Structure 1
Amino acid sequence: MMFYFVVLVVVILVFRKFIYRRIFPQKPLDLSKLGEWAVVTGATDGIGKAFVEELAARGLNIILISRNMEKLEEVAREISNKHGVNAKGIQAEFTLQDDKMYELIRKEVGNVEVGVLVNNVGMGYVHPEYFHELESHQQHIYQGIVNCNVVSAVRMCQYVLPAMISRKKGLIINVSSMLSEIPAPFISLYGGTKAFLSKFSTDLALEVERHGVRVHLLRTGMVATKLLKIRETSWILPSPETYVKSALTDIAAVKSVDSTGYIAHTITHNILKAMFSLFPGFSERKIVELGLEKRKLLIERCKHCNPANNQALVSS
């Protein structure tokens, strides 16, 4: 009986989030009318690069921000040639608290009309690990994750919001994770930073909506990216391009504060939330067991598990 109840709840939520919207569609938001430029952090690989591609295809000029200048120049040239838009890169190491770097970013984004900001850059673990043992594998990981996953998003919002509010239009997309809402042992610092981003985004959205600015939180699920070392795609594990196309279509179509951006992730998210709500003890024991198994497996396989290689899991 409980199983059927969970299935019913999931079906209702999916119907509300996707099918109802397509039966009774709202007028979609034209992203190109929000401003001439889009800014994307973590812009040269994975989800970030897919956002760059999709926003350029919709006619926006792009500021790409990432840590690898060679990749920045390559992607900027690629989208300029393909879509006929202006594109420029800013080199930034978001794992550091570098005031000079942030001042450069502030000046660059302040010189253009930013209509869309995508806070995508993020840092994760090389492998699941006990919180107190993290730095034995990755130097400076504690502050690096906070800087990359929290500070970067806060400061980027700080830089673009005043002009958006003045123009009474704009869109900020903060890329979080489903792990912000479900238990995530052995990646507790990562999950905690994503929970901060979720709370910050949903509260900020309520603050600025009266000024014509939207803040949208993406609670992403599994996407086939280099960060996750996954290449093969499936319906439940989309490519970055498939995921971003779906997410932007969903964001443009509905004035919601948050979403997963992808129907398979919505189903997975709601099943997991229902399980942890209805069977908390069993679900928590199982997630700890799975975390320990994955930790053991990845430590045995890991080629990056020395303190010099903590940069390996920054989305660039």
Structure 2
Amino acid sequence: MRRVEHMLDSVRQVEMEFSRGDRDSADTWPVRLSGEGFPRSVTVAQPVEFPEARQIAEELARFLQKPLVDSSTGERITRDAEHLDESWRDRMRRTKGAASPMPPQPPGMRTRVERTAEGYIFHIPGPPLRGYHYIHALVPVVFAAAVAWFFLPALLGLPMPDWVRYFFLGFIGLFFIAVPVMSALLNILRLKNRFERVTVTKAVLRVESLKQGRRATVEIPVDELEDLVAPTAKSLLDSVEVPGMKKAPPGDTGTPRMPDGRPLPRLLLAVMNMAGSRGITARSDRAVVEFAAGLDEAETAYLSALTRKMISE
């Protein structure tokens, strides 16, 4: 068994990332150590729950007195060891980070912004139904049509008692035709009925949602809120690190570019625009919630600015 030792003095920072799983594995939040003399980051733990990963990362940063670099939201957030438990509002007030100018309201917003005495309520509809949504729903319909085309005529032509024929017709019609068609219609209705209602006040951030037919409510007190991030396409690209790829100096050239400075391929840019923004992520030590995903990036930036302004004042 190979054994490698590193001096704790050589640790530069504690890193926390997010790794999406697949059908056979769960999502994980790897916690790593990196520093001088490390050929690669050393993975300390890979929890499958965010609160556990957050606790491990903060305890390591506090013990080593090193900064915690969290890129699990798609945007790198660095917190020094002395302010790991500092709320987002206190951090913004201390660093003047919320003093950025308010962006203008973009035209054609899908979100309805309601101003209340306590703050704001964002009524965010589900994504508009596009062609690929219907293509996905057409698969069970095509299957049902194929069953009806190939099997029903043959079944009607076989010599058998009427009650047996009707039994098989009912069985095939119910389980191989009606059920797939109803499943396709339900999928479309679920997409159409999706919504998010986000309540932002000086005391609480509450997100109520209906997705995949399931209702959920997540509430984070502002005093416990530690991260409020709205990753942009540029920040996501800047966070990409490919072995052997040398990053170009940062700068706004007006053209989306890869981390090494090359222009972003048109196909990848088209896919990113079609998918919309990553939305807004709010996290405390005990909870994480995402909202506004899929909206236009300018609309997400506007909602994020309203949220930041309300909470930080």
Give the TM-score normalised by the residue count of structure 2.
0.23
Larger Rg: 2
Structure number with greater CO (CA < 8 Å, separation at least 6) is: 1
Higher helix share: 1
Higher strand share: 2
